[in-house]
């Protein structure tokens, strides 16, 4: 498939293992994943990840809610390595757009990954802000859009058009996928990147699998587990 697959994780052991896999084209993380993984020192975690990931993009997120502090943090994060992208949320918690900061960072040569994007209108604004800058990413949370009961594909089509119209250096990322089918959907839309957790990455070998064979494997799994548990009737 043409679409690039990025690992979305904060478990360093998993990231180090997946860094050996040439099918993984990059890495992303966020404070929520880091907290779940038990990360306590942001800089130490980043240094360890960057020691392993030197030849592919890796995104780290700012931690602030005000734009002045976001800018300071973004400049520091960007300085860690040439392959670092800085994740900037599309708004702060007061619903104020981060487009002004995104434009400032892009013009300063910072590779930005605009995150927590949900609507084509948001994509249009941030894509315009990123135009003329270095390579950048717009992360649209298609999985969460689907969680709201909406089909994300038409929204992703529209978002892709805005990215392409703004600048060829802007890549559209399908974020928060829930199943392997989402990889197929993202590819059909024309998205440049899809993120996947290690659990979802483990399912990718099932892509295109013969369904009769899949059925038999499932029957065998139930039989094996029943025997292993010692169930009797």
Residue 152's Cβ-side half-sphere holds a number of Cα atoms within 13 Å equal to 31
pLDDT value for 1? 83
Q: Please name the residues in contact with 158: beta carbons below 8 A apart, sequence gap of 6 or more.
A: 120, 123
Q: For the chain, give the mean pLDDT.
A: 97
> Span 149-163, mean pLDDT?
98
pLDDT score recorded for residue 208: 93
Q: Is it true that domain 4-204 has CATH number 3.20.20.70?
A: yes
Q: What is the pLDDT of residue 213?
A: 97
CB within 8 Å of 174: residues ≥ 6 apart: 140, 142, 143, 152, 156, 182, 185, 186, 189, 191, 193, 194, 195
Confidence grade of residue 227 (pLDDT, cut at 50, 70, 90):
very high
Report the chain's terminal Cα–Cα distance, integer Å. Answer: 47
Side-chain half-sphere exposure of 220, counting CA atoms within 13 A: 6
Q: Is the pLDDT of residue 210 over 90?
A: yes
Looking only at the bridges linking them, the beta strands covering 24-28 and 170-174 are unpaired
60 pLDDT above the threshold of 90:
yes
Q: Is residue 163 scored above 90 in pLDDT?
A: yes
Q: What is the pLDDT of residues 99-130, one digit of tens each?
A: 999 999 999 999 999 999 999 999 999 999 99
List, by residue number, the catalytic residues. Answer: 87
* Stretch 8-26: mean pLDDT: 93
| Domain boundaries, given as residue ranges, for the chain | 4-204
Provide mean pLDDT across the span 151-166. 98
CB contact set of 170 (below 8 Å; sequence gap of 6+): 127, 130, 131, 136, 137, 138, 163, 164
């Amino acid at each position: 498939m043409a679409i690039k697959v990025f690992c979305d994780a904060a478990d360093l052991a998993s990231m180090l293992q997946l860094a050996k896999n040439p099918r993984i084209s990059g890495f992303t993380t966020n404070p929520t994943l880091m907290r779940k993984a038990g990360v306590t020192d942001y800089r130490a975690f980043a240094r360890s990840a960057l020691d392993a990931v030197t030849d592919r993009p890796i995104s780290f997120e700012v931690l602030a809610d005000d734009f002045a502090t976001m800018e300071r943090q973004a400049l520091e994060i960007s300085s860690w390595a040439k392959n670092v992208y800085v994740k900037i949320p599309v708004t702060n918690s007061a619903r104020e757009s981060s487009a002004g900061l995104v434009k400032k960072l892009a013009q300063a040569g910072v590779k930005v990954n605009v995150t927590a994007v949900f609507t084509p209108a948001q994509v249009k604004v941030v894509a315009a802000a990123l135009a003329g800058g270095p390579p950048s990413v717009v992360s649209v949370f298609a999985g969460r859009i689907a969680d709201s009961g909406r089909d994300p594909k038409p929204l992703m089509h529209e978002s892709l058009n805005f990215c392409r119209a703004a600048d060829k250096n802007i890549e559209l990322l399908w974020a928060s996928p829930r199943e392997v089918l989402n990889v197929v959907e993202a590819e059909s839309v024309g998205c440049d990147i899809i993120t996947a957790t290690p659990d979802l990455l483990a399912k990718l070998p099932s892509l295109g699998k013969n369904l009769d064979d899949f059925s038999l494997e499932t029957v065998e799994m139930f039989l094996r587990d029943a025997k292993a548990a010692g169930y009797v009737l």
